[in-house]
Amino acid sequence: MKLNIKLDQTERTLVNLMQTDFPLEQDPFAALGEKLGLSEAEVLRRVQELREKKIIRILGPVFNSRSLGYQSTLVAMRVPENRIEHAASIISQHSGVGHNYQRDHQYNLWFTLAIRGNHDLKKTLGEFEKQIQPESMFELPATKLFKIRLFFDLEGNGNHTEDTVTKTPQPVAAPLSESERAVINEVQQQLPLINRPFDDIAQNAGVDIEEFLSICRSLQERGIMRRLGASIEHQNAGFVANAMVCWEVPQSRVDEVGYKMAAFKEVTHCYERKTNHLWPRYNVFTMIHADTEAKNVETVDRMIRKTGIDEYQVLSTKREFKKDRVRYRV
């Protein structure tokens, strides 16, 4: 795989570990060093360089919004080209918007929105519509999650192999203790690059470090926290081609096809979404990534052969207006 920014083998392994296996320990960078045969100081130096090179974008937790009582949806708009930047600016200013992209399609502006309470979600969408006055607009809420796994393999060891897909029910709003709420509210920040990065966060949450780490592990085991680790700037790491591929899947085959598509390493997200009269056909959505557009085409071809589904649309990314983790308050 050709990288836009040159990384040595140790850096590639380190980035992979930080995406998938960041230690929930008092001294996580020392624990990473043990796995890599490096000192804690050397790990911290390399992670700082990876941030400066804009390979590592965020180091922190990813939460399941639904388990925290939030409603989320994907929204599509058709906006005249001469007004798209203004529309995108209005949307991106909202704290509940995590991703906001221009895509190569008649519906050219796509964004995700997470907000507490269904009434507030509808109200916010109404405010967007009033401010932006799009030619057309609709939402596509997820009805089933098959995969969310933002892992970009910088070592290239698993290309074109099947991914592990966990077939577990989506959690609903989970009961949380006061200590858990405090930890969730405090841990949603960029983790400092120091030898004991969790100490101050635990103190601010009003718990000792052992209880803090125990709560984080419990949140992970219960699916409330998807993971704690690094999100990378995938374009800078060589994954410059990405697209949303929307598939028309017969309702009787949605589960079968969804899990088959989710098993592709190149797929980071796979959902079934509710259709509507403006978007009546395509009900399964996948996000795919590669280092070239040609490889994305190859991935789509392999997905067709694997599933037998050949009715689809590819919505390539034209511009990224916002990509961030939503900060949830509980």
Q: Which residues are catalytic?
A: 99
Residue 126 Cα distances to 94, 222, 318, angstroms: 13, 34, 26
SS3 for 136-184 is EEEECCEEEEEEECCCCCCCCCCCCCECCCCCCCCCCCCCCCHHHHHHH
CA distance 124 to 273: 20
CA distance 137 to 122: 13
Dihedral, CA of residue 133, residue 134, residue 135 and residue 138, to nearest 10: -120
Residue pointed to by tokens 């961030």: 324
Helices (H), the chain: 9-20, 28-36, 40-52, 84-92, 118-132, 178-187, 199-205, 209-221, 254-262, 293-307
CA distance 53 to 49: 6
How do strand 70-78 and strand 142-148 relate by DSSP bridges?
A: unpaired
Residue pair 13/155 in contact (Cβ under 8 Å)? The answer is yes
**DSSP letter assigned to residue 189:** S
Residue 49, Cα to own-chain centre: how many angstroms? 23
Residue 209 Cα distances to 189, 199, 214, 217, angstroms: 17, 6, 8, 12
How do strand 97-103 and strand 109-116 relate by DSSP bridges?
A: antiparallel
CA distance 25 to 21: 11
